[in-house]
Copies of this chain bind each other. A is one copy, B any other.
Amino acid sequence: MNDTPDFSSGLSCPIPLDQYPHILLAHGGGGKLTQRLIAQMFLPQFSNPMLEPLHDGAIVTINGKRFAFSTDSFVVSPIFFPGGNIGELAVFGTVNDLAMCGAKPEFLSVGLIIEEGLPMDELWQITQSMRKAAERANVKLVTGDTKVVDRGKGDKLFINTSGVGTIPEEISISPRNARIGDSIIVSGPIGLHGIAIMSVREGLEFESPVLSDTAPLNHLVAKILAQTRGIHVLRDPTRGGIASALNEIAAASDVGIVLREDALPVTDEVQGACEILGLDPLYVANEGKFLSIVDPSDTTKVLEILRGNELGRGACVIGNVVEDHRRSVVMKTRIGGNRVVEMLSGEQLPRIC
């Protein structure tokens, strides 16, 4: 198409090829390598004001109205897991990404990449789950695409969902909006989704099994946004867990974040599984929890709304936004020390969503 060399774009790959000649699993893990791939390879190519790498979706303006637009591919393995399956996960995942932009999710697309040989009945179960999930989230699945790849060239089923939502005029939610003094609220116990998946993969057995927390957060978010004005940032901490999400927010807002270890809601089952698997719950994926970064004057109100809803029953304040140690997250440990909570590095939990 373009025969003259394009010097503006750089002629050589911006990722050091001697260090990373090939894509690693960790490039998809939601941690440091994912961030570098996005920052060094994709952003310089696709740079435009709407491409906000640290947000769950883009905010675009058409005819003076703002919309959120988001995409997510789901490659979770196994495709059926305690508490859910890839179908509802794919619907709720994109619904939540839109909700985290302050948007009302309206329409979703569904792109299926099926591996030849997938049992038809499993596809049927997943299709039904998607319908029920869409009903529960009150979004419409309006367009789709189905591709089939040969056996051994896929893994049962990958699902992409993309979504469009409308943003009410008065709403301004962004990972750049955290302010010194804000409270950090998590809507409930962390790590359930990741541990549900890992416990199946590793054959862990619990007295009561850990179930994925996959759920649509849009109705609860809408209620909070309707009743308060102090929400600055919303984020669902999926891949990379709350550690990675908070690091991204600290960097985007140029603030420090302090977490209190004794305030972190972790169930005994998740804590136990993390110890067996050598995982830190801060880095384990969630699919039905969200972080709110809130003006201190609204903290009590937001907690009250959250706790009045089944999806926010276990909400609590886990930390604060501070002026110190900008662009990083520090945890005050139970024994009174401080430890830096870095972004996920490497691939702790591959194919968790």
Interface set of A (CB-CB < 8 Å, partner B): 1-2, 6, 9, 12-15, 17, 20-29, 34, 37-38, 41-42, 45-46, 48, 50-52, 57-58, 60, 62-63, 65, 67, 69-75, 77, 88, 106-107, 109-121, 123-124, 127-128, 130-132, 134, 136, 140-150, 152-155, 158, 160, 162, 164, 166, 347, 350-351
Contact = CB atoms under 8 A, between A and B. Distances in A.
22 contacts: A13-B124, A21-B121, A23-B116, A29-B148, A38-B144, A48-B140, A50-B143, A71-B110, A71-B162, A72-B111, A72-B145, A73-B111, A73-B112, A73-B145, A74-B147, A77-B153, A111-B160, A147-B351, A148-B347, A148-B350, A149-B155, A164-B164
Given A37-B146, A136-B1, A146-B37, A160 B117 contact: no
Contact of A132 (B2, B15, B75): B2
Contacts of A24: 116, 148
A154 B51 CA distance: 27
A41 B136 contact: no
B69 A166 contact: no
A165 B25 CA distance: 34
A37 B147 CA distance: 12
A167 to B, nearest CB: 11
Contact of A58 (B46, B74, B107, B152): B107
Contacts of A48: 140-142
B46 A132 contact: no
B147 A45 contact: no
A75 B149 contact: yes
A112 B52 CA distance: 17
Number of copies: 2
**Listed residue (A23, A45, A52) with the most chain B CB atoms within 10 angstroms of its CB:** A23
B146 A27 contact: yes
A111 B57 CA distance: 12
B71 A144 contact: yes
A25 B154 CA distance: 12
B350 A50 contact: no
Contacts of A21: 119-121
A248 to B, nearest CB: 15
**Listed residue (A42, A73, A124) with the most chain B CB atoms within 10 angstroms of its CB:** A73
A211 B200 CA distance: 47
Given A41-B124, A113-B158, 14 more contacts: A21-B119, A21-B120, A22-B117, A23-B116, A45-B128, A50-B142, A51-B140, A60-B107, A60-B164, A62-B67, A62-B164, A71-B109, A73-B145, A74-B147
4 closest A-B pairs by beta carbon, nearest first, are A28-B148, A162-B162, A71-B109, A58-B142
A46 B134 contact: yes
B22 A71 contact: no
